[in-house]
Each structure stands twice: as structure tokens, then as C-alpha cells.
């Protein structure tokens, strides 16, 4: 079967992302002397991004889009968006755990710096791919190539990070209000993930109700739920009247990575971030219903 080569910017940014992610995990595994669980996450981010990009390139080069079991209008940009977020997280976590507090010289440190640099380059490449692939005004494209679709990816990713922070150590079992926050994170994550799966699998037409109106109603519900969590979490974690901690412990400055208090602050910030993302999602979804329908 002849190769189908398209000399386009999209091809070059995918090749760049493939090379950068490959170098990032290869150098880290070869000489970075990794020994913490955080390293496993970073290696996973780079390997997952590399493998997915390789699959996308092979399908594109051999012209197998019509035989793919997923919607090719939605899958590549969905993967690229997730890969950019994964590489971004690795670009933050890796130096935080493996460069912070270490000396200024040494071969191991040099390997770690190289992995960090190429992780950042891979992030830029994936962000460029998303920017090139996203739908332009008036252009017919898959839902995941539009702003609401990309917001869904960001919402689910932020929720996954929240799950990591609230589970190590467990920080939601001291009060029923905090369990409500956990319920908010879980419900909204499941629904957003379901929307992504339906779009990538081209199953939106199987729903017994209009998909656009469902998106608008769900976005409104998610905004209200995340608004409550944005208020409740800081009250019960940082207000002394409700058993919270008002000051950052002194030992946090010497800990490698994030201490428990830092994770509580991160959850509060990420909750507010997801509230903003769902609010923007609601604006776009409402426009989709009331302007185009």
C-alpha cells in the first residue's frame, strides 16, 4: 500500500512531538537514576504520548482513517490535547521531584535537565498540534475540535489531578461537606468523560434526546456543582472554625515535592479552575443551542 504523505505543518509538529517525547523518556530511563513514584507518572506521560502519536502518524501515512474504529475527526485532536496536558504535568512534576534540592553538577542531574527540556518541547509541539487542528469559525469539524470539546478534555484532566491530590493522603473523609466535594468531582468527571467517549466513538446519535441540549443542561449543572465545591473546600480545609489549617506548616519548605498542605491548596485552586472551565463550557454550549438551533 503506498504511503500518503502530506507535507503540512500538522505532520511536522507530530513528528516533533514524537521525537521530543521519545528523547524525554529515553534519557530519563537511561541515566536519570529515578526512584520515586512520581517518576512512574512522568515516564507514563511521555511513553503514552509517544505511542499515541506514532499510531496517529501511521494511520495518517497509510491512509487508514476510514478503517479506524473511532471518529478520525475527533480522535487525533482529543489525543493531542490529552498529550499536551500530560507532558505539561510531567514538565512540572519531574523537576519538582528530581531537580529541586539537588546539587548544581553531576551526570545524573544533566540527564534530568535534558528530560525536562525535551518534555517542555514536547508540550509545545502538542499545543501547536491542537492549535493547528482546532476548528476555525465557519469550518465544519468534529465536536472535539471545537472549544467546548477541548474544554471537556481539560475538565477531565483537571479532575484526575484533583483525585490524585485528595487521595494521597485522603483528605475528604473528615466532614460530610468534603464528601460532597468528592461527589462533585466524580459526577462531573464521569459525565464529561462520557461525552468524550460518545464523540470519539460517534455514538451521539444514539441518545434519546438532542445532544446539544444535553450538553447545555449538563454544563449548567456542572457550573452549579463546582461553584458549591469552590466555596465548600476552602471553608472546611482552611477555616479553623471548621477544623481547617490556617497556616502552612514549617516542614513543607524542606519536603521534596508537595506536602499535604500544598496539596490541599492545589485542590482548592484546581477546583476554582474547573469552575471557570465549566463556566466557559456553559457559555459555548448555550450559544450552540440558542444560536445555531
In sequence order, what are the beta bridge partners of 167? 170
pLDDT of residue 1: 42
Q: What is the pLDDT of residue 242?
A: 66
Is the separation of the CB atoms in 14 and 116 below 8 Å?
no
| Cis? peptide before 169, omega within 30° of 0 | yes
Can you give the pTM of this predicted structure?
0.89
Q: Which residues contact 288 (CB under 8 A, 6 or more apart)?
A: 148, 212, 215, 216
Q: Are 18 and 50 in contact (CB under 8 A)?
A: yes
Cite the residue boundaries of each domain of the chain with CATH code 1.20.140.
1-136
225, 230, 233, 234 alpha-carbon torsion, rounded to 10°:
-160
CATH architecture of 1-136: Up-down Bundle (1.20)
CA torsion, ordered 82, 182, 185, 282, to nearest 10 deg: -160
Q: What is the pLDDT along the chain (293 residues), one digit of tens a residue?
A: 444 445 688 999 999 999 999 999 999 888 767 766 778 889 999 999 999 999 999 999 888 888 888 889 999 999 999 999 999 999 998 888 887 766 556 788 888 899 999 999 999 999 999 999 987 766 667 889 888 899 999 999 999 999 999 988 888 888 889 999 999 999 999 999 999 999 998 887 777 888 888 888 999 999 999 999 999 999 988 877 766 677 777 777 666 667 888 889 999 999 999 999 999 999 988 776 544 43
Amino acid at each position: 500500500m503506498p504511503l500518503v504523505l502530506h507535507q503540512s505543518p500538522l505532520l511536522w509538529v507530530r513528528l516533533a512531538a514524537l521525537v521530543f517525547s521519545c528523547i524525554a523518556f529515553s534519557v530519563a530511563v537511561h541515566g536519570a537514576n529515578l526512584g520515586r513514584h512520581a517518576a512512574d507518572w512522568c515516564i507514563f506521560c511521555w511513553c503514552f504520548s509517544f505511542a499515541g502519536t506514532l499510531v496517529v502518524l501511521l494511520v495518517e501515512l497509510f491512509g487508514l482513517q476510514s478503517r479506524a474504529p473511532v471518529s478520525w475527526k475527533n480522535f487525533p485532536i482529543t489525543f493531542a490535547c490529552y498529550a499536551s496536558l500530560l507532558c505539561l504535568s510531567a514538565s512540572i512534576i519531574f523537576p519538582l521531584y528530581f531537580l529541586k534540592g539537588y546539587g548544581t553538577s553531576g551526570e545524573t542531574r544533566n540527564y534530568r535537565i535534558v528530560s525536562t527540556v525535551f518534555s517542555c518541547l514536547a508540550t509545545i509541539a502538542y499545543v501547536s498540534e491542537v492549535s493547528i487542528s482546532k476548528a476555525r469559525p465557519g469550518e465544519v469539524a468534529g465536536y472535539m475540535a471545537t472549544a467546548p470539546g477541548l474544554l471537556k478534555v481539560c475538565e477531565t484532566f483537571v479532575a484526575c489531578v484533583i483525585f490524585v491530590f485528595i487521595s494521597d493522603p485522603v483528605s475528604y473523609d473528615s466532614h460530610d461537606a468534603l464528601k460532597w466535594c468528592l461527589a462533585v468531582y466524580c459526577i462531573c468527571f464521569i459525565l464529561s468523560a462520557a461525552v468524550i467517549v460518545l464523540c470519539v466513538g460517534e455514538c451521539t446519535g444514539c441518545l434519546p434526546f438532542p445532544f446539544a441540549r444535553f450538553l447545555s443542561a449538563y454544563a449548567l449543572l456542572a457550573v452549579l456543582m463546582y461553584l458549591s465545591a469552590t466555596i465548600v473546600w476552602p471553608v472546611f480545609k482552611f477555616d479553623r472554625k471548621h477544623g481547617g489549617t490556617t497556616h502552612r506548616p514549617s516542614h513543607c519548605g524542606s519536603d521534596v515535592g508537595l506536602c499535604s498542605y500544598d496539596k490541599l491548596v492545589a485542590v482548592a485552586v484546581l477546583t476554582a479552575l474547573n469552575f471557570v472551565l465549566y463556566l466557559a463550557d456553559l457559555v459555548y454550549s448555550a450559544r450552540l443551542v440558542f444560536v445555531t438551533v
